[in-house]
Amino acid sequence: MQSYEYVVVTDPEVMAELAPLWERCVDAYLATIGKYAPAGMDEAAYGRMVAAIEYQRDHFAETPARMAEIQERFAALAEGSCVYPGVQNLLLAARGLGLAANITIWHLMLEEEWKAALGIPEDMHTFAAVPVGWPRGDFGPVRCRPVEEVVHRNRW
Amino acid sequence: MQSYEYVVVTDPEVMAELAPLWERCVDAYLATIGKYAPAGMDEAAYGRMVAAIEYQRDHFAETPARMAEIQERFAALAEGSCVYPGVQNLLLAARGLGLAANITIWHLMLEEEWKAALGIPEDMHTFAAVPVGWPRGDFGPVRCRPVEEVVHRNRW
Ligand SMILES: Cc1cc2nc3c(=O)[nH]c(=O)nc-3n(C[C@H](O)[C@H](O)[C@H](O)COP(=O)(O)O)c2cc1C
Ligand SMILES: Cc1cc2nc3c(=O)[nH]c(=O)nc-3n(C[C@H](O)[C@H](O)[C@H](O)COP(=O)(O)O)c2cc1C
């Protein structure tokens, strides 16, 4: 099934309208779950991630492009199964071009406001907001959990 | 976040245990929503897909590998955002190797039974079941909706 649509935002005026929404989402995250490093990430790495998040919050309006991934709410069975594979294709394509891009879902904390700002119809559900831009500094290889930790053979 | 685990089933005995569950899921689908081609797919293409689905139902136990994608239920905000990108990586890697693989979610119709058969803990939620095997016949390029249909610029 290919039940998805993208809103690609490159207009600086639209980005400026979205910036305060993003700031509220980031601040809500940092004040709650974001207070501590997630399990499996050391404090130093998490500190670097928080610094990147704060930088991006404060420079949101300059992000060259932002994609909002949208899907008609078609089935509660596995929402997102039609959308996130395409998001991953987008991330891989961006990396292939030397662009930095990230999957984020924090816009969902204020989903109604984001939808209103972008004119997205009521009956559409949004799944990801992907900032895309030229990397600042080192945009190295991604970290992956070791395969032995992640894979079970034949049974759990 | 990398909150996911895979169960890789290659043991024919385990596959044989799963086969009747898959058959029930397929039959339930074909008797309901699967009666008609999804919007945007012509009847001939849908007929070929149904034939492939029936073939796969009847030869399920011979599928060389099946992956169940699992995630701890960690947030209702956007379930699947940590899991489906990895599923897409799996599909792309399979294709790179000349293997046929497909994302499916029908096992969710009988999720408790699948989890019991595979010994997956109660508090884990499953997101996809991906059959992997050598393609029979033509495993051509995938169809994609045209980009003009899918992308909105700056606003909906
Ligand atoms: C602003 C921001 C928001 C993020 N939001 C999410 C999110 O909503 N869901 C998620 O799974 N990961 C989220 N992440 C994590 C990133 O997608 C990515 O996994 C993380 O930056 C580590 O990637 P790296 O190893 O390539 O640096 C977020 C990261 C940043 C910087
Ligand atoms: C047995 C079977 C089950 C499927 N289940 C799902 C599903 O649960 N969700 C979904 O989005 N697509 C499902 N599909 C669709 C496939 O993932 C794929 O999109 C479809 O076969 C068209 O791909 P193609 O253009 O490469 O042939 C299923 C297909 C088959 C054959």
Minimal CA–CA distance to A8: which of A55, A70, A77, A83?
A: A70
- For residue A75, pLDDT over 60 is answered with no
User: And the tokens for A91?
Assistant: 């991330």
Helices (H), A1-146: 12-31, 43-58, 84-96, 111-118
Q: Cα separation of B136 and B55, whole Å?
A: 11
Q: Residues of B numbered 61-120 whose beta carbons fall under 8 angstroms of chain A's beta carbons: which are they? A: 77-81, 83-89, 91-92, 103, 105, 108-109, 118-120
Minimal CA–CA distance to B62: which of B11, B26, B21, B129?
A: B11
Q: Cα separation of B154 and B156, whole Å?
A: 7
Whether A83 lines ligand 2, by a CB cut-off of 6 Å, is: no
Q: Which ligand is nearest to the CA of B49?
A: 2
Backbone angles phi, psi at B5, to 5 degrees: -145, 155
Contact list, A86 vs chain B (CB under 8 Å): 88
pLDDT digits (tens, 9 = 90+) for A2-56: 678 888 898 889 889 999 999 999 999 999 888 888 877 889 999 999 999 999 9
Q: Is the ipTM of this complex over 0.90?
A: no
pLDDT digits (tens, 9 = 90+) for A96-120: 999 989 888 888 888 899 999 888 9
B147 within 8 A of A67, measured Cβ to Cβ: no
Pairing of strands A124-133, A65-72: antiparallel
Q: How many residues does chain B have?
A: 156
Cα separations in angstroms, B110 against B20, B23, B150? 11, 11, 32
**Which pLDDT score is estimated for B44?**
92
CA A15 – ligand 2 centroid, Å: 36
Whether chain A has a CB inside 8 Å of the CB on B31: the answer is no
Q: Cα separation of B52 and B63, whole Å?
A: 13
- For residue B2, pLDDT over 70 is answered with no
Domains of chain B: 5-137 (3.40.109.10)
A124 within 8 A of B106, measured Cβ to Cβ: no
pLDDT band at B75 (very low <50, low <70, confident <90, very high): very low
CA distance A101 to chain B (A): 13
Minimal CA–CA distance to A120: which of A16, A29, A8?
A: A8
pLDDT band at A74 (very low <50, low <70, confident <90, very high): very low
Contact list, A14 vs chain B (CB under 8 Å): 154-155
Query: In chain B, which ranges are E strands?
Result: 5-9, 65-72, 100-101, 124-133, 151-153
**Which pLDDT score is estimated for A73?**
43
Q: Cα separation of B74 and A155, whole Å?
A: 22
Which residue type, as a one-letter code, is found at position A8?
Answer: V
Whether B108 lines ligand 2, by a CB cut-off of 6 Å, is: no
pLDDT band at B73 (very low <50, low <70, confident <90, very high): very low
* Cross-chain Cβ contact B85/A108 below 8 Å: no
Dmax of chain A from CA atoms? 53
Cα separations in angstroms, A18 against A104, A108, A109, B46, B49? 15, 13, 13, 41, 42
Burial B47-76 (b: 16+ CB within 10 A, else e): eeebeebeebbeebeebebbbbbbbeeeee
**Which pLDDT score is estimated for B91?**
93
Q: What is the mean pLDDT of residues B70-75?
A: 54
